[in-house]
Amino acid sequence: MTSAPDPKPGVRVELAVTGMSCAGCAANVERALRKVPGVREAAVNIATSKATVVVDPSFAGREALVAAVRGAGYDVADEAAEVEETRDAEYLSLRRDVLWGGALALVIFLGSMRHWFPWMPALLQDFFVLWALATPVQFVLGLRFYKGAWSALKHGAANMNTLVAVGTSAAYLFSVAATVWPGLFALAGIEPQVYFDTSAVIIVLILFGRLLEARAKGRTSDAVRRLMGLRPRTARVLGPDGEREMPVEDVRAGDILVVRPGETVPVDGVVVEGRSSVDESMISGESLPVDKAPGASVVGATLNKWGSFRFRAERVGEDTALARIIRLVEEAQGTKAPIQRLADVIAGVFVPAVIGVAVLTFAAWALFGPEPRLVTALLNFVAVLIIACPCAMGLATPTAIMVGTGKGAERGVLIKSGESLETLHKVDTVVFDKTGTLTEGRPEVTDAAAAPGVGLEELLRLAASVEAPSEHPLGQAVVRRAAASGLAPEKVDEFRALEGMGVEAVVGGRRVLVGSPRLVASAGVEEARTTPLVASTSRTRAAVSGEVATPAATTVSLAGL
């Protein structure tokens, strides 16, 4: 029994969210989106900075979703390019801040550890000097943490920024009090101590972690960018006034396009005139080019090898095969694995729980800890807040999914979703549906058989000499086999490529043809004379394994296979 179809299928909407810095931010955005009427699903990926929402359009549209994100204290970019620009600018800003902040933090650390570094100048051991050095780190570099914490607080939430802001502020303010009012500490029997190094080093280390995250996000997006780079920027369109070059974005279905040798097919379509051979390995994994004639389909971003042809555009823009592959990779990178959903649930309640634990820690050490209790309680309070930052927990899984799907796409393996990737570790048997996906990416000569009266070396030398000027993969395979046997191609004359059949040339005064059995038959070699030789090279086995047998004929006699 099958269930009834959903009467109101949802519409998938993707939003490029900016301003998120941790898993807690992603959880806040998800909660805000789920509160919008009509939202059935909402998932936010901190690694890609994307929110994927399934919503009933009769209740809410994109505007309502954007308003919900902004209401939670974050923003939505209009285009993906804007997100990339923001990400690049953030990386450069973080790198600059880490460099000068790290220099200040190092000086503060050396000056604060007088018992470790007694050789430091007395000036750097002065509390007021350390205060002056720590202040720009705390309020210039740390401003982003205060802004993030305040934005979350306004919406009744807490995130990693809250932990960093509260922890570093506690250490900084305690140190300011010890610097300005040391007498109060002396009255309480506590030796005045400052912890400017604690707040400064923590801020710089957190920023350094974000710098590494930004770098990882940029690298994991490279796979999609490389796929996008396969698309040609222009197309040659045939119009009433002849050929004209235009941006590929302006091509419309029904246009007649011209593709010349060595050019990339701009969009998907059907050949209407001409013949050629097209390398479709980026789509099919097959190493051999596919012959194209009128009526054959061509796929955008594939490479035209040698012929020129015209074709009618049928699928353009986001409907092309390459665009669908890119969309599949992006969707896979944005999906959540089951383990990530668990991590997100924990991260959503983690920050408030950590703050509560930190307060209890402070109270316990202040009441029952050793002297000086206040100092010990403060240090443990800060330690709990900083060490418990949930960044790694929230970022590790989505980053792993991005890396896995991205690396798979680079190698021609498309992964449907994060759940599929997580389930893959349970697989113990992989079944492939065809041999072409298991080749090395180029054809190789595995067998060669010379006809009676022709030596094997002579066969290879003749075939390699004729194939050397050719760019066809089968011809290059013959040349490589001859080179491996120590045979150098001879100079040829009157080289000619025979469309769809092979090549011919004059070698040492003899006309030599290398190509398909159809070419050999057209040269006058009887089929009966070639059959025993074909059988002796196990052509049936070669065909099954994806290999191609290429006969070579000299004058009108078969030289070998």
Mapping DSSP to helix (H, G, I), strand (E, B) and coil, where does residue 380 land? helix
Residue 66 burial (CB count, 10 A): 17
* Whether the Cβ atoms of residue 197 and residue 109 lie closer than 8 Å to each other: yes
Q: What tokens does 141 get?
A: 């570099």
Instruction: Say which of 279, 433, 447, 493 is annotated catalytic.
Output: 433
CA distances from 555 to 398, 504, 512 (A): 64, 11, 6
555: left (phi over 0), alpha (psi -120 to 50) or beta: left
The rounded radius of gyration (Å) of the Cα atoms in the chain is 34
d(CA 50, CA 195): 39
Task: Give catalytic status of residue 97 as yes or no.
Answer: no
Helix axis angle, 222-229 to 321-334, nearest 10°: 170
- Report the candidate in 493, 480, 478, 495 with the shortest Cα–Cα distance to residue 559: 478
Q: What tokens does 40 get?
A: 């059935």
Strand partners, 558: 553
CA distances from 124 to 120, 179, 202 (A): 7, 14, 20
Question: Can you give the length of the chain in residues?
Answer: 561
Exposure string for 115-137, b = 16+ CB within 10 A, e = fewer: eeeeeeeeebbebebbbebbeeb
Where in the sequence numbering do the catalytic residues fall? 433
